[in-house]
Chains A and B, each alone.
Chain A
């Protein structure tokens, strides 16, 4: 178990390095002079030139990257080109809505998806077929489109939830929940169906294994067999899938935050991309990667806890 964690963590450093180099290279390809972007098209060329130098853009690319890296190691991610504020606190301030969205969605997906999957596996019949069909349909409905439909009816027509905006948890937990209800619904639908399907298949597989028959034959209670023994084994692939889904939610947050006007990391990254704000984008990428690594680590730990054979490998 400890070795598993260490191996994961040892891999994080090189991963961050490669990701940041890649992003730096990609961003350097963006046409146009960031200094010009900052000052606007009407600024005199001398002024642009001065800012260009001040931003260090006249230095070679490797030097630019290394100086960024040196600062980043010390927690300084540079300053935003467009607003001039420091990137690290900017990102920190945008972290809460995104992390809230991911956590709530993962929770919803985990609870609802697993429950549906287990029920459909144990009961079978129409519920089972529903889960099978829903997993395909869920994949087909784009989350951002569903978000628009939810806004139209639940927010605009019936005024059940706010259409846009974010209420911090510290301000009002209920408001926080209400502000996230629609975004979470929109992002979790496809994932719920996928997890339900995975859970159902895993449960059906485990329930047909020999040890289940042995336990039945030796008189263990059905409830214990299903929920204590089978579910634990079936949960291993489900947790792996949940990890993948949580990581992929980061992509969804860009669209969803944009639609619901949530001041999160995703909408910030989209804005930065539009403004050619390299330091902010770079910071966002690093932050995203860290979150992906953290999710992967959590998923691995959960699997090792569920199945001792995973940790032993």
Chain B
């Protein structure tokens, strides 16, 4: 990572930022030494040339009295900048000071400061300023001091909110436990967090103050007439608006360009202040979300790989790439495991490549899932097992045609006679929700927070069954009863935030069951829940699968969950399937060293005395995968043949496949 130095250098290479900087430098020169910019006196009257357009003598033309507009603009800069400076300083000092105090101390101070901010906000700024300029005629400093004070209400609120949220961060608690004093914590942790925010707010205050100052001068409350000011010049232009509209433009553009420069520089300075660490911040993963890592790091998608479809976070929305531009399999006809006639879902050679992100590290696309083969039979429960970043969540979402970050899917994915890779909108409409349902990990965020549970379920029911309002409502209550909610009527009237985690997950399952699907894809459905709630949800899934003869593809990192629920297991490591077998084999006869290592490291199976057996090292990130066996760097059995070339997925026996050169060696990783 580059430090702040190179970061600011990079910012300067942005042309707009450079232009903004140059313009402000010019204004500053005008303010300090206007005689360097123009030789003319701003109050010299060249009456014969009055109301002329740009000419050699008067580069920007003249006003009614023949005064040179360029000269007046240059001499007016000093007052303008001074006023802005006063307002920005006042607003920043008051806003940051009070906002910090209120946010960090809370309690009574917070309440008082909050009321003060409300009061400052409710005061009609311009009327107050009119009064102030009436009391102190022509005094820009006091007027802008007052305006800065009024504007500080916004800063107080923003800084207070940011301080409060920062104060709740664990690292603040950690710093306090490390024995740091409050001033130390504010200096080391809170203020740096606010820097970017304050810079942006200050630049906005500068922009607003400049416009307000021009407004006051325009209304005649600026410096007295012969003296030049930008707002006053607009007022002078107003008087000759019919005969000579040109005069509007030099002062108007001067104001606009200066405001633009303030805002652009504010943004750039904020980027510079956080550049050192924010690039890595994107990699931050959500708590308890193994598998979401890949999706997270690539969440905002600025460009579509082919350029044919617009970038889009919805992934699908009207122009989802997988819908609007069907991806045709480039891989040869599926090799590997033959497809069974009686399978419900048959995935072959499924690969997902995230688009290249020029300027953000990856120049070529990153493959996050490669050549996954996977079968799910009717009514079968299959576990897709792996650690963070192994590609299990991406695989599950890609089956539904919704890869994260505009990923590109290749391979094939046959479901009930249709290849879902390259399916059309019309085909998807008959599959998603009706044939395949989906349950996400965190129930608290997988329902629309603004609508009642019953309303959301009814929408899904009506969409999939075409039922009318009344029968749909009965259906919703039946669904809620099916997923084990004791009082369906009450539950239907609740908003998602009024439900407990376990109840919300039941509702999410009901949502996925609304179209009576043949396959349920459940992505870590119990990871966010307590163990007793987890057991309830697992029991519910087992019962539902049995009663409805519904197959389940269960994505999980928990081997216990696999043991309790699944018929077969597919183990993924670094984007590949490394082992696939019936669940009894997985625990009794694991063949891949990774599977063995995982099982050995589980404290349930380990003996109590002595250290736990571990797998050394960490899971490699997509893009850092070795060419040979991807587990080789961590494998105790790895030899030269493992590292040389990619290892194929071999069938060992009925329903058991392993991606390992030496699956017969029984030496377990120690």
State yes or no: do A and B touch (Cβ within 8 Å): yes
Mask: chain B, 304-324; 1 = CB below 8 Å from A; 0 = not: 000000111111111100000
Chain B stretch 284-339: residues in CB contact (< 8 A) with chain A? 299-300, 310-319
Which A residues are in CB contact (< 8 Å) with B512? Answer: 218
Q: How far is the CB of A100 from chain B (nearest CB, A)?
A: 18
Contact for B445 among A211, A276, A296, CB less than 8 A: A211
Mask: chain A, 7-36; 1 = CB below 8 Å from B; 0 = not: 000010001001100110011011100000
28 A-B residue pairings within 8 Å (CB atoms): A15-B122, A29-B135, A123-B310, A124-B312, A125-B310, A128-B310, A140-B263, A141-B252, A142-B252, A145-B234, A145-B252, A148-B234, A148-B241, A213-B315, A213-B440, A214-B439, A214-B508, A216-B315, A219-B432, A219-B515, A222-B316, A226-B318, A251-B125, A273-B127, A289-B122, A292-B122, A292-B124, A307-B450
Q: Of A106-114, A149-157, A179-187, which binds chain B?
A: A149-157
Whether, in the assembled complex, B449 has its beta carbon less than 8 Å from a beta carbon of chain A, the answer is: yes
Interchain CA distance A208-B440 in the complex, whole Å: 14
Q: Of B66-74, B459-467, B535-543, B633-641, which binds chain A?
A: B459-467
Q: Of B50-58, B210-218, B360-368, which binds chain A?
A: B210-218
What residue of chain A has the Cβ atom nearest to residue B438's Cβ?
A: A217
Which A residues are in CB contact (< 8 Å) with B204? Answer: 139
Which A residues are in CB contact (< 8 Å) with B451? Answer: 229, 232
Whether, in the assembled complex, B159 has its beta carbon less than 8 Å from a beta carbon of chain A, the answer is: no
Which of A151, A232, A254 gathers the greatest number of chain B CB atoms within 10 Å?
A: A254
Q: How far is the CB of A133 from chain B (nearest CB, A)?
A: 10
Whether the pair B130, A269 counts as a contact (CB closer than 8 A) is yes
Whether the pair B450, A232 counts as a contact (CB closer than 8 A) is yes
Mask: chain A, 185-225; 1 = CB below 8 Å from B; 0 = not: 00000000000000000001001111111111111111011
| Given A148-B241, A232-B450: A218 and B437 interface contact (C-beta under 8 Å) | yes
What residue of chain B has the Cβ atom nearest to residue A147's Cβ?
A: B238
Q: How far is the CB of A82 from chain B (nearest CB, A)?
A: 14
Whether, in the assembled complex, A48 has its beta carbon less than 8 Å from a beta carbon of chain B, the answer is: no
How many A-B contacts at CB < 8 Å in the complex?
Answer: 235
Whether the pair A218, B514 counts as a contact (CB closer than 8 A) is yes
Q: Of A54-62, A71-79, A280-288, which binds chain B?
A: A280-288
Whether the pair A211, B448 counts as a contact (CB closer than 8 A) is yes
10 closest cross-chain pairs (CB), A and B: A219-B433, A124-B310, A217-B438, A219-B432, A208-B313, A273-B130, A140-B259, A288-B124, A251-B126, A125-B310
What residue of chain A has the Cβ atom nearest to residue B133's Cβ?
A: A273
Interchain CA distance A45-B100 in the complex, whole Å: 54
Beyond A26-B135, A29-B135, A122-B312, 8 additional contacts (C-beta under 8 Å) are A15-B119, A128-B311, A139-B204, A141-B252, A233-B449, A251-B124, A255-B218, A269-B124
Whether the pair B260, A22 counts as a contact (CB closer than 8 A) is no
Which size bracket describes the interface of B in this complex?
Answer: 35 or more
Q: How far is the CB of A295 from chain B (nearest CB, A)?
A: 10
Whether the pair B218, A218 counts as a contact (CB closer than 8 A) is no
Whether the pair B316, A216 counts as a contact (CB closer than 8 A) is yes
Whether the pair B119, A18 counts as a contact (CB closer than 8 A) is yes
Mask: chain B, 494-530; 1 = CB below 8 Å from A; 0 = not: 0101000000000010011011000001000000000
Interchain CA distance A301-B285 in the complex, whole Å: 35
Contact for B432 among A144, A204, A217, A270, CB less than 8 A: A217
| Given A124-B310, A156-B242, A211-B445: A308 and B256 interface contact (C-beta under 8 Å) | no
Chain B stretch 237-287: residues in CB contact (< 8 A) with chain A? 237-238, 241-242, 245, 248, 252, 255-257, 259-260, 263-264
Interchain CA distance A258-B72 in the complex, whole Å: 25
Contact for A19 among B123, B126, B234, B312, CB less than 8 A: B123
Whether the pair A216, B314 counts as a contact (CB closer than 8 A) is yes
Whether, in the assembled complex, B37 has its beta carbon less than 8 Å from a beta carbon of chain A, the answer is: no
Interchain CA distance A209-B442 in the complex, whole Å: 11
Whether the pair A254, B242 counts as a contact (CB closer than 8 A) is no
Whether, in the assembled complex, B447 has its beta carbon less than 8 Å from a beta carbon of chain A, the answer is: yes
Which A residues are in CB contact (< 8 Å) with B429? Answer: 219
Which A residues are in CB contact (< 8 Å) with B428? Answer: 219
Which B residues are in CB contact (< 8 Å) with A23? Answer: 127-128, 131
Q: How far is the CB of A124 from chain B (nearest CB, A)?
A: 3
| Given A23-B131, A218-B438: A140 and B260 interface contact (C-beta under 8 Å) | yes
Whether, in the assembled complex, B554 has its beta carbon less than 8 Å from a beta carbon of chain A, the answer is: no
Chain B stretch 384-438: residues in CB contact (< 8 A) with chain A? 397, 400, 402, 428-429, 431-434, 436-438
